[in-house]
A and B are shown apart, each in its own frame.
Chain A
Amino acid sequence: MLRGTIFLHTTRYNTCSILINRCGSSKALDIEKLEQETSLDVIDHDTTAKEEELERKRNKSRLNINHRNILHGKPPYTESKHPFHDTLKYKRKMYGRYGASSGIDVQLCWPTREELADILEYEKVAYPRTILEMINIAKEKRAENQAKILEREEQIAKKILKLDAWIKELNIKTAKKQAEAQEAKERKEKLIEDVRRHFGYTVDPRDDRFKEMLEKKEKEQKKAMKEARKKAKEEQIVTRILAKQDEQKDETISQNKEN
């Protein structure tokens, strides 16, 4: 019923019957129209019947009525023959193809208020943002990515400044490690040599006596090393104290001179 007030169309199609059910068949009766038709029919009922009979006889095409209708550019069915013929899609299609002659109410082409509400709800979910909002989001994202890239580049630049020092450090470290390893190796060799010399002849290194001797020598060597370290430490302390004393002396001298 709403539709009657909703649409105003530009065609000669003004006296269309309003369908109550969009998906029902189009058999609503227009009483006024029927009356007019019947009143017209009464006058030349015989002639029209004759004409129809003639038409029927002339039609030798052997085509189905629906096929013949299609061939002559008319809608194939005048009434619904199949549940599909009552669907909105079919009716719209019939209007689209056969125009006003299809007898379909043009109002059916557009969604009803309820359908429109459904469409709007769908669009609200599917397209929640406006174009401007989307553009702003894209801009923010781009800026964020750019900031990330810049930050990373800065980090790399900072690290590259230190790179030479790091390489030098690493080289020193590895050299020191190597030297230590070499020293340890030499020390071990020397030990074994010492043990051999102690026995005066070549002894199997797996021999118990050899092992005992080796342990002993090792202990001795460790002791010697410990002492050497102690001595070095003491020497260091002594030099430090001396240096301090020298400084104090210098300071007193300078103070005296100032006074």
Chain B
Amino acid sequence: MSGNITEKALGLLRSLPRVCLANLRDAPGARKQKRRGRGQHGGDKHGAGNKGSLQRQNYTRVGYETGNNPFYLRFPMEPYYKGQHMRRQYPPLSLLTLQTMIDTNRIDTTKPIDLVTLFNTGIFRISPAEHQFGVQLTDEGADVFKAKVNVEVQWASEIVIAAIERMGGVITMAYYDQHSLQAMVNPEKFFYRGIPIPPRKIPPQDVIEYYSDPVSRGYLADPEKVSYERFVLSQKYGYVLPNLEEDENYEMLVERKDPRQIFYGLNPGWVVNLRDKVILKPQDEELQKYYNS
């Protein structure tokens, strides 16, 4: 019994840090607490100020405005804003800006474009902590958009899809959860944390339809149906759909991420070490099963 305790204590001692200035505590009685002065002049105001409720320390309740209609009661309830602070936001990026980024060599169109590419331009950023769930492409500049790209965004209108597909490009709507987004916002910082790349989560119920719909080019949609919808859209807007298979960049244009994947070329579960320039992959079956599911 006693031997066990000693062992435990020794084990604890071994794991504790060495005694140094940072973890030393004052000797008992080294500091004496000030006593509040009392008596006629000894205890004058005790730091509570002079006169009024502050001296008497009978503070009014929080939010009370001494007879005014208090701010927190001044405005009636606005039920139509219920849950507004919880809604997902998609900061906009116009096709014109995207074209400008391409024209100013900020984006390389020979590679697939995703959120990381946009963040790497240095002129676009989002904040996942503020409920921003990615980017929406807006149709401003749809007429002047001339680039052939394989782009992956989180939200886009039909016109934007048409504008990109008209030039022989490809667009996909993909959902990223906040943790994945945080990793994408600054991959270098993420890799410095020394943790494996997380698997991307599945979209919530209210957007599952959008991300699995071939009409909206969802990443969970059947590719055959998507190609059919591409043709349908070209008929609707009246342009000739360029044939993807005859394109010289065919392989780049059909490159897609796995629904669990966050970065192109990197799988979930891998640890990237920038210092040693190595990629570590888990070999355990359970871990592999978790990261590849």
**Interface positions of A (Cβ within 8 A of B):** 6-11, 21, 24-25, 27, 79-83, 85-86, 91-101, 104, 106, 109-111, 113, 116, 119-120, 127, 129, 131, 134-135, 137-139, 142
Q: Please tell me if the beta carbons of B284 and A82 are within 8 angstroms of each other in the complex.
A: no
Distance of B216 from chain A, by nearest CB (Å): 13
- Contact of A127 with B286 at beta-carbon distance under 8 Å, contacts A92-B195, A100-B276, A135-B209 already known: no
The stretch that binds A, out of B29-37, B97-105, B186-194, is B186-194
Distance of A229 from chain B, by nearest CB (Å): 59
Complex Cα spacing A81 to B38, Å:
45
The stretch that binds A, out of B12-20, B125-133, B231-239, is B12-20
Further contacts, 9 of them, CB under 8 A, given A11-B278, A134-B202:
A7-B283, A79-B17, A91-B194, A92-B194, A92-B195, A99-B275, A110-B269, A110-B287, A127-B201
Q: Please tell me if the beta carbons of B15 and A95 are within 8 angstroms of each other in the complex.
A: no
Complex Cα spacing A109 to B192, Å:
12
Report which of B20, B193, B195, B271 forms a contact with A81, defined as CB distance below 8 A.
B20
Distance of B219 from chain A, by nearest CB (Å): 11
Q: Please tell me if the beta carbons of A135 and B208 are within 8 angstroms of each other in the complex.
A: yes
Which residues of B sit under 8 angstroms from A86, Cβ to Cβ? 15, 17
Q: Which residue of B lies closest to A21 (CB)?
A: B15
- Contact of A113 with B286 at beta-carbon distance under 8 Å, contacts A82-B23, A138-B208 already known: yes
Q: Please tell me if the beta carbons of B280 and A142 are within 8 angstroms of each other in the complex.
A: no
Complex Cα spacing A85 to B18, Å:
12
**Interface positions of B (Cβ within 8 A of A):** 14-18, 20, 22-23, 191-196, 201-202, 205, 208-209, 212, 220, 259, 269, 271, 273-276, 278-284, 286-287, 290
Which residues of A sit under 8 angstroms from B16, Cβ to Cβ? 25
- Interface majority SS (helix, strand, loop, mixed), chain A: helix
CB-defined A-B contacts under 8 Å, sample of 16 = A7-B282, A9-B278, A10-B280, A11-B276, A11-B278, A81-B17, A81-B18, A93-B192, A94-B194, A96-B275, A99-B273, A110-B269, A127-B201, A131-B202, A135-B220, A142-B209
Complex Cα spacing A252 to B225, Å:
81
Q: Which residue of A lies closest to B280 (CB)?
A: A9
Q: Please tell me if the beta carbons of A95 and B209 are within 8 angstroms of each other in the complex.
A: no
Report which of A109, A113, A137, A138 forms a contact with B194, defined as CB distance below 8 A.
A109
Complex Cα spacing A27 to B14, Å:
8
Which residues of A sit under 8 angstroms from B202, Cβ to Cβ? 127, 131, 134
- Contact of A82 with B22 at beta-carbon distance under 8 Å, contacts A93-B194, A113-B286 already known: yes
Distance of A121 from chain B, by nearest CB (Å): 12
Q: Please tell me if the beta carbons of A85 and B17 are within 8 angstroms of each other in the complex.
A: yes
A-B contact number at CB 8 A: 111
Complex Cα spacing A127 to B191, Å:
26
Distance of A232 from chain B, by nearest CB (Å): 61
Q: Which residue of A lies closest to B290 (CB)?
A: A116
Q: Which residue of B lies closest to A142 (CB)?
A: B209
Report which of A11, A80, A83, A131 forms a contact with B220, defined as CB distance below 8 A.
A131
Complex Cα spacing A81 to B19, Å:
9
Q: Please tell me if the beta carbons of A97 and B286 are within 8 angstroms of each other in the complex.
A: no
Which residues of A sit under 8 angstroms from B275, Cβ to Cβ? 96-99, 101
Distance of B196 from chain A, by nearest CB (Å): 6
Point out which of B201, B276, B283 has the most chain A C-beta atoms below 10 A from its C-beta: B276
Q: Which residue of B lies closest to A26 (CB)?
A: B15
Q: Which residue of B lies closest to A95 (CB)?
A: B194
Distance of A120 from chain B, by nearest CB (Å): 7
Complex Cα spacing A229 to B85, Å:
74
Point out which of B192, B273, B281, B286 has the most chain A C-beta atoms below 10 A from its C-beta: B273
By Cβ-Cβ distance, the 5 closest A-B pairs, closest first, are A96-B194, A99-B275, A92-B194, A99-B276, A6-B284
Which residues of B sit under 8 angstroms from A127, Cβ to Cβ? 201-202
Distance of B14 from chain A, by nearest CB (Å): 7
Which residues of B sit under 8 angstroms from A91, Cβ to Cβ? 194
Q: Please tell me if the beta carbons of A96 and B286 are within 8 angstroms of each other in the complex.
A: no
Which residues of A sit under 8 angstroms from B273, Cβ to Cβ? 95-96, 99
Complex Cα spacing A142 to B209, Å:
10
Q: Please tell me if the beta carbons of B192 and A96 are within 8 angstroms of each other in the complex.
A: yes
Point out which of B15, B20, B269 has the most chain A C-beta atoms below 10 A from its C-beta: B15
Distance of A198 from chain B, by nearest CB (Å): 66
Which residues of A sit under 8 angstroms from B20, Cβ to Cβ? 81
Distance of B8 from chain A, by nearest CB (Å): 13
Q: Which residue of A lies closest to B16 (CB)?
A: A25
Which residues of A sit under 8 angstroms from B14, Cβ to Cβ? 25, 27
